[in-house]
């Protein structure tokens, strides 16, 4: 993402996990763990939406951690149908807390990654949660904290907006709809970045 991006291998539950790290200028005020889309459909930590989320959280003062799920890039093991992937995120977060201290935690994810972060949020008590194009329908996505930021494209062809609204409605959870955006937010990434930044302060 940036010249200063650092890549490390951290211990995961099924082998080492590749993780990209981006740090803010000055002292970090939080840790943002950001999850990429489906491993079997080309999802990696270099996905443009994932990079955009990382950039937004770095601008908010967080250290951004972007792990590759098991079996992706230099991460070891193989795809586990959404079970082990939640454990991968938990392991990356635990490493981040050891490395950077007991800072407030933000969980963010795109598509499959958003569904995995919703599962992790149920047990990790994050201070902030941002879910983009959350893959409801394809995966069981539990209820999320009431202040979760949910962002979806108006013309998402992969996860229909109606499905996300059906998931959000029983929770009385607002959904931010980006007009004209598709699933991958082509030409809408600056809007996505601005929504995250404005939600949490600058």
Look up residue 121 and give its two tokens. Answer: 């949020």
Distance separating alpha carbons of residues 38 and 56, to the nearest angstrom: 22
Confidence of residue 137 (pLDDT cuts 50, 70, 90): confident
Whole-model pTM: value is: 0.96
Q: 139-147 long-range contacts, Cβ below 8 Å, gap at least 24?
A: 139/82, 139/112, 139/115, 140/115, 141/114, 141/115, 141/167, 142/118, 143/170, 143/171, 144/118, 144/171, 144/173, 145/121, 146/171, 146/172, 146/173
Helix boundaries (H) for the chain: 48-59, 84-100, 112-124, 161-168, 189-199
> What's the pLDDT score for residue 2?
59
Q: What does the domain layout of the chain look like in residue ranges? A: 6-199
The string of DSSP letters for 27-40 reads S--EEEEEE-S-GG
- Lookup result for tokens 């939600």: 199
pLDDT band at 201 (very low <50, low <70, confident <90, very high): confident
Quick one: which H or E segment has residue 75? none
Q: Which CATH architecture has domain 6-199?
A: 3-Layer(aba) Sandwich (3.40)
Considering Cα of 18, then 64, then 113, then 153, what sign does the dihedral take? negative
Q: What are the CB-based long-range contacts (under 8 Å, 24+) for 171-176?
A: 171/143, 171/144, 171/146, 172/146, 173/144, 173/146, 173/148, 174/150, 175/150, 175/151, 176/149, 176/150, 176/151, 176/152
Q: What is the pLDDT of residues 58-97, one digit of tens each?
A: 999 999 999 999 999 999 999 999 999 999 999 999 999 9
Tokens read off for 135: 């893959």
Q: How confident is the model at residue 189 (pLDDT cuts 50, 70, 90)?
A: very high
| Statement: residue 98 has pLDDT above 70 | yes
31-51 tens-digit pLDDT: 999 999 999 999 999 999 999
Which pLDDT belongs to residue 3? Answer: 61
SS3 of residue 50 by DSSP: helix
């Amino acid at each position: 993402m940036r010249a200063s991006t650092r890549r490390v291998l951290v211990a995961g539950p099924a082998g080492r996990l590749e993780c990209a790290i981006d740090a803010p200028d000055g002292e970090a005020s939080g840790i943002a763990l950001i999850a990429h889309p489906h491993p079997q459909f080309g999802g990696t930590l270099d996905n443009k939406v994932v990079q955009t989320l990382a950039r937004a959280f770095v601008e908010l003062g967080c250290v951004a951690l972007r792990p590759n799920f098991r079996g992706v890039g230099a991460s070891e093991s193989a795809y586990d149908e959404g079970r082990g992937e939640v454990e991968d995120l938990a392991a990356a977060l635990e490493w981040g807390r050891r490395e950077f201290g007991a800072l407030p935690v933000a969980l963010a994810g795109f598509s499959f990654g958003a569904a995995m972060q919703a599962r992790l949020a149920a047990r990790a008590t994050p201070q902030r949660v941002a879910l983009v194009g959350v893959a409801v329908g394809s995966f069981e996505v539990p209820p999320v904290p009431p202040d979760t930021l949910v962002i979806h494209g108006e013309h998402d062809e992969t996860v229909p907006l109606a499905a996300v609204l059906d998931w959000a409605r029983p929770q009385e959870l607002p959904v931010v709809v980006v007009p004209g955006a598709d699933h991958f937010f082509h030409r809408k990434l600056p809007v996505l970045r601005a929504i995250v930044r404005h939600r949490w302060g600058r």
